[in-house]
Structure 1
């Protein structure tokens, strides 16, 4: 049993130390991701322009789910490059990236299967899949407490409630997708929050009111793959 656990840990370290993976956390790669995600975020808000104009202003923070998710990740990467840790964002960003990234893939694949694939389906499907994948790559190196995770959980489920109780969910390709949109949104909330719980720093009991105590400065050359301050505790 001990040998098996040792082999597993060795494989994990080797995976994290792979040159391609390590390069992803360099300042060059992270800066490139900031630019890509910023462009995607701006396009996302443009894509939501019609829905926003038809939605009361008070609901705007709950409407453009995907661009808000990629915007959160853009801000997170920027802060990491500056050596700033923000536990709330380190939990929220990957959760919503996985949730809305996979949700958009499901809706676009369904639209393609129903009405025939269009360029928009390919563009939106692949770009949102990329959102989820980058979250999964960065997640093990992020830090937040279980209390932060609990607060993010409340926000995510409130967002689901708002979307389908107040009908401010993203516009669908066809009204017949409503049940699929609702069901997949809830299931993906459970999935992404489950991952969020797994990556939460179980040793940290600090709450939301103690941000300064949880700040770990990062190297200006990116997110180090070897620093024990940013390794997954699992």
Structure 2
């Protein structure tokens, strides 16, 4: 099961970076190079989840160092929080676009299913991860930095044309979703097996 999830997430990560290809190129040509890191939101979330799965597939023998535990905790927190947030965000944007008249194509339906899967797997796998609230807050800080850069530097994921006049509401929703994601994650941490 873990290997299947690893393969699906790794393939989804590659597909996601390809899907963002034009926006990545545009950002490199029109923005400071360092901002490109903040462009592909969902694929970066699935990349973190793919890395987190490696910790489960290859448990470290012996007593891990504090540096290893810290790195693993931050990667796992980023995996859970970004998977949940960007899973919900993408589905919401597709639905909002459709509600305003954007014609849905087969890729939209595929993205809805895959992003709902991202959100769900993040919450389901919290119970097998070691990160705590401190790492979750660090992940929140990363997401809020990403949110601020997205809407101050115009590097947010390209939206359907019908949503372009809703950017203020989308920005506020995105920031609110980051905070909600931390709250949901903290709730799931209370119910996991340690």
Q: Which category describes the TM-score, using the shorter chain as reference length?
A: 0.7 to 0.9
What does 1:216-231 correspond to in 2, within 5 Å?
Answer: 231=192
- Number of the residue aligned with 1:193: 182
Larger radius of gyration: 1
The answer on 1:34 being equivalent to 2:18 is no
What does 1:103-182 correspond to in 2, within 5 Å?
Answer: 103-113=89-99, 114-174=101-161, 175-182=164-171
TM-score (norm 1): 0.70
- How far residue 58 of structure 1 moved from its aligned partner, in angstroms, is 1.2
**Greater helix content:** 2
| Structure 2 unaligned spans of 5+ | 61-68
Superposed CA deviations along residues 73-132 of structure 1, whole A, max 9, x for unmatched, are 011101210014611112111100010000000011122232232212111111111110
Bigger mean CA deviation after superposition, 86-95 or 99-108: 86-95
- Number of the residue aligned with 2:58: 82
Aligned length: 177
- Number of the residue aligned with 2:44: 68
RMSD of equivalent CA atoms: 1.9
- Number of the residue aligned with 1:9: none
| Structure 1 unaligned spans of 5+ | 1-28, 202-229
Residues 180/124 of structure 1: CA separation in 2 closer, same or farther (3 Å cut): farther
TM-score (norm 2): 0.84
